[in-house]
Amino acid sequence: MCRHEDPQEALSCAREQCAEQAPGQECWATAWCFPANWSGTMTVWLPDFHTTQVLCGAPSEKALTDALAALCAGDENATNCDFGFVIDPEGNERVVEGVSFPGPAAPPPIEAVAPPVGQKDGVAESGDQLPETATPDGAPPAADDETAPGSDQPAAGP
């Protein structure tokens, strides 16, 4: 991202940066704002590729962050969006790490499964380590095709 009072100077600088950072790729002017106020970039991850959103002219850093989050939420194909960097009104650029927004096309979160009652992480309430095949009450699991313990009769299922 480049800053300059003259739009042609700013866009020329941006094309040069693009050519250096992405040799062989086409470089397009995406934005020129005056006044620039708070500006920033965000990578929008789509199922097959990614794009970069540039936003400028926000009245505050919070407004910039909120606007980028809204852009991500409004892109029905976005799986995730990563805040790239922010430029304050004085032109100071800062990389933003660890700020991501989920997109509408994000896969659903994996839900954690709670351990059975009386068991936590393979340990019985008594503190004894449970065998991998034991139920929380210590009995072996019953299955329709298993034989009941001490019998040659099939075990009864629930």
In a domain, residue 153? The reply is no
How far apart, in whole angstroms, are the C-alpha atoms of residue 92 and residue 76? 32
Instruction: Tell me: do 51 and 27 sit in the same domain.
Output: no
Q: How many domains does the chain have?
A: 2
Q: Kindly state whether residues 16 and 48 are assigned to the same domain.
A: no
The upper half-sphere exposure of residue 21, i.e. CA atoms within 13 Å in the direction of its Cβ, equals 8
**Do 59 and 24 share a domain, yes or no?**
no
Q: What is the residue range of 1's domain?
A: 1-32
Sequential pLDDT tens for the chain (158 residues): 777 888 889 889 888 988 898 888 888 887 778 888 999 999 999 999 898 898 999 999 999 999 999 999 999 999 999 999 999 999 899 999 999 999 999 887 777 666 666 655 555 556 555 455 545 555 555 554 444 445 454 444 44
Residue 136 lies inside a defined structural domain of this protein: no
For 20, phi then psi, to 5°, come to -75, -40
Q: Are residues 50 and 118 in the same domain?
A: yes
Is 5 domain-assigned?
yes
22 within some domain: yes
By residue count, the chain amounts to 158
Q: What is the pTM of this model?
A: 0.60
